[in-house]
Amino acid sequence: MTTNVESEIENPYISEPCRILRKVDLAEGVRFFQIRPLNENSTIATNYSPGQFVMISVAGVGEAPFSISSSPTRPGTLELGIRNVGRITEAIFQLKEKDIMFVRGPYGNNFNISGMENNDLMVVAGGIGLIPLRSVLFFSLDNRELFKRLIFLYGARTPDERLFKNELVELKQRGDVECHFSVDKDPSGKWTEKVGVVTTLFGDIKDIDPDKTSVVICGPPVMYMYVIRELLKLKIPKNQIQMTLERRMKCGIGKCGHCAVDELYTCRDGPVFTYWDVIHFRELI
Ligand SMILES: Cc1cc2nc3c(=O)[nH]c(=O)nc-3n(C[C@H](O)[C@H](O)[C@H](O)COP(=O)(O)OP(=O)(O)OC[C@H]3O[C@@H](n4cnc5c(N)ncnc54)[C@H](O)[C@@H]3O)c2cc1C
Ligand code: FES
């Protein structure tokens, strides 16, 4: 017989209360949240890997998945970037610093970091796709010796829509990350870097050793096919290209079938897939 306490521990849908430490606007309609579990024995902000996500619930409104944007190499808090698109995200936007946010996870698989070690690492982000890839970037900066070249391509619609603008400046100043930035258009007229979609940045990358290059991608659905085309031109093996693919989710833990694509549950088998894993799922990319 299970006691109430035991059955609560076993219930995978129980969320943990976390305090919002910091809330900052990253761009119009996109907000950064830094949260810390109330329970100091909680492992939610320590035991996770880049690529995983959490489910955030708002009482009376619902629950939705969000990528973890922080890195386990900087443990203790979780960082999230949330775009306000509907009911749940609007309710999350109403939360203030010091309020409680209810979170469960971490869920899903993660980027295969050990498989990328000793390789050049190329990070290709589009728009809010930078949110999960920031976790990979921080992880690789904190373990810089594990990777050879670190090549970072980031495209956004306009200069204002770029996320984590201060961090982008710092990344460029470090000197050990090859940063290439683009915007689709520049209404301000002050942008000094490339104008064009993110794939235009591939022309600036020199001396790629395809067998020793690992790539991680996240961005709007339309971006994937064009980026993959460029990577294949560079002869990068399909199983060295990893990307996060998002589907609508409900349970987040492989129980409800909401996120299924054929035999794959994107919450459990993903959200990270290699191009080779999903090459036959035209619908996924
Ligand atoms: C694994 C995973 C990680 C995610 N990480 C982030 C993140 O880091 N930051 C972030 O802002 N969002 C992220 N999302 C998307 C986020 O979960 C949705 O934006 C959220 O569920 C919207 O809920 P809502 O009630 O506010 O909007 P709704 O009212 O449910 O939807 C508003 C609009 O957004 C569309 N939409 C909702 N969910 C999705 C989805 N999964 N894919 C495509 N379109 C969708 C709807 O079709 C509708 O047009 C992630 C999704 C997944 C599956
Ligand atoms: S969201 Fe329920 S099975 Fe994936």
In degrees, rounded to 5, the angle at the alpha carbon of residue 136 between the alpha carbons of residues 134 and 140 is 115
Kindly report the backbone phi and psi dihedral angles of residue 125, in degrees, each rounded to the nearest multiple of 5, phi listed first.
-120, 145
What is the fold of 114-244?
Rossmann fold (3.40.50)
Domain residues of the chain, as ranges?
4-106, 114-244
pLDDT at 240 over 90: yes
Beta carbon of 55 within 6 Å of any ligand 2 atom: no
d(CA 75, CA 66): 18
Cα-Cα-Cα-Cα torsion 114, 115, 117, 122, nearest 10 degrees, comes to -120
**How many angstroms separate the CA atoms of 183 and 160, rounded?**
9
Residue 39 has pLDDT above 80, yes or no: yes
Give yes or no for residue 2 having a pLDDT over 50.
Answer: no
**Whether 133 contacts 113, CB under 8 Å:** no
- What's residue 189's pLDDT? 92
Mean pLDDT of 152-165: 97
For the domain made up of 4-106, give the CATH fold.
Elongation Factor Tu (Ef-tu); domain 3 (2.40.30)
Section 273-285 average pLDDT = 84
* Ligand number, closest to the Cα atom of 85: 1
Q: Whose CA is nearest to atom 31 of ligand 1?
A: 86
Query: Which residues, in sequence order, are bridge partners of residue 104?
Result: 55
Distance (Å) from CA 98 to ligand 1 centroid: 24
The pLDDT tens digits of the residues spanning 260-275 come to: 988 889 999 999 999 9
Residue 254 to residue 249: CA distance in whole angstroms: 10
- Alpha-carbon gap, residue 66 to 27, rounded angstroms: 17
pTM: 0.94
Cα of 259 vs centre of ligand 2, distance in Å, is 5
Query: Mean pLDDT in the chain?
Result: 94
Query: Would you say residue 3 has pLDDT above 60?
Result: no
Does ligand 2 come within 6 angstroms of the Cβ of 148?
Answer: no
Contact (CB, 8 A) for 63 and 44: no
Which residues, 6 or more positions from 230, have their beta carbon under 8 angstroms from its beta carbon? 199, 202
Best residue among 57, 63, 256, 264 to mutate for probing ligand 2, ranked by most atoms within 8 Å of CB: 256
Report the atom number in ligand 2 closest to the C-alpha of 252.
1
Residue 167 tokens, joined: 């961090």
